[in-house]
Structure 1
């Protein structure tokens, strides 16, 4: 007799998915609290694996690596002005709707735009355009897709920061070996914060140095 033949599915007939006539329901409230249900789950996990299932997975693992097999890195891609930039996904905590920061009196550190409310909590708001020395204005109109300003909540050394961005592309996976050297024509203010450039979907994306940028975030609060 197979495991499938000895299993009972009383929950579908007289239990919570059936007519609720099981006398044990009054005691257990729900079938998942009953020993019959948990025993059936154990038997299901112990059932024999069919040859078709084994062949299917054997064929899957025999396939050569796909085109994205070498994609060992991932970053969140966003836009400031005309510049597409990226930070490692490990830094990101939350993507929130855009909100205007409130100025802090007697605090004029470079890049510190004030504080902003995200989900009922206040976070220091960092203006990346000012910090990176780039224009926040869009000079080339975007076509073919809707754009929405966002607040990106990132964390560096136990401190969270809100970064206003003009547009959010999303997560991009790429091969670290394929990262290109930044062009010499990139302005010096931005260039010092870049570790390289990646090409994706027709965009040239500047990969920001998380360590250097995080250090600047921390300095803005001192």
Structure 2
């Protein structure tokens, strides 16, 4: 038996290193487990996406669609591209055209000193008009929400009355959905998309088809 085996503590005087802290001595499994647990407790918990390429885009990466003007026609909410709307004017009377048989043509209306045709978009889409109520003081505010929209199509304007104008929105392209067969304007191709908005489903109209229908109503 060697002297090293007989005196395992030889040389451990004051100031000698503890074997547990010596770089040549490895801690036991229990110590490693405790240190690892303490380290993990200090790290933030961040879930790992197993498919990072499918991560949803951030707010700044959402692709926005074209700006839309939202308006109400009777009880139906509709939208047209803002670029196709030339003007939103206060409601005013129009002059009927004697002898004209097109039901969609309401007459002629003065916009900025020029007479433009005033047509019924509701007649083209088959929107039932809102029930007529007596003009009581309580209804005056609701009646004052009506507006005339001037649609630019081709080289001329056509105006059409609406019940209310909400304003412009710019929804994400992904928010626009396909048009159901039962949606307003779907059968005639006027609606090109639907947009969930608040508690409503907004029908997004094709300005080219609406303008072409207005032109046919003037023939």
TM-score by length of 2: 0.63
Cα RMSD over matched residues? 2.7
1:99 aligns with 2:99: no
2-side partners of 1:197 and 1:67: how far apart? 24
C-alpha distance in 2 between matches for 1:91 and 1:184 = 25
1:76 counterpart residue number:
69
CA gap of 1:189–1:198, structure 2 versus 1, over 3 A, is closer
Alpha-carbon spacing, 1:189–1:129, altered in 2? closer, same or farther (3 Å): farther
Per the alignment, residue 79 of structure 2 pairs with 86
Q: Which one of 147, 150, 153 corresponds to residue 150 of structure 2?
A: 153
* Alignment coverage as a number of residue pairs: 155
Q: Gapped runs of 5+ residues in structure 2? A: 1-56, 133-141
In structure 2, the residue matched to 1:205 is 202
Q: Measure, in 2, the Cα distance between the counterparts of 1:76 and 1:188.
A: 17
Name the SS for the 2:59 alignment partner.
coil
1:194 partnered with 2:191:
yes
Structure 1 gaps, min length 5? 1-63, 140-144
Residue 178 of structure 2, aligned match among 177, 181, 190: 181
Instruction: Verify: 1:117 aligned to 2:114, yes or no.
Output: no
TM-score w.r.t. length of structure 1? 0.62
Take 2:61 and 2:82, find their aligned partners in 1: how far apart are those partners? 18
Residue 127 (structure 1) aligns with: 120
Question: Relative to 1, partners in 2 of residues 1:158 and 1:190: Cα closer, same or farther, differing over 3 Å?
Answer: same
Cα distance in 2 for residues equivalent to 1:87 and 1:187 = 14
1:137 is aligned, of 130, 144, 154, to 130
Change (3 A) 1:68 1:95: farther
Residues 201-222 of structure 1 deviation map (CA, whole Å, 9 limit, x = unaligned): 3321100121211111111122
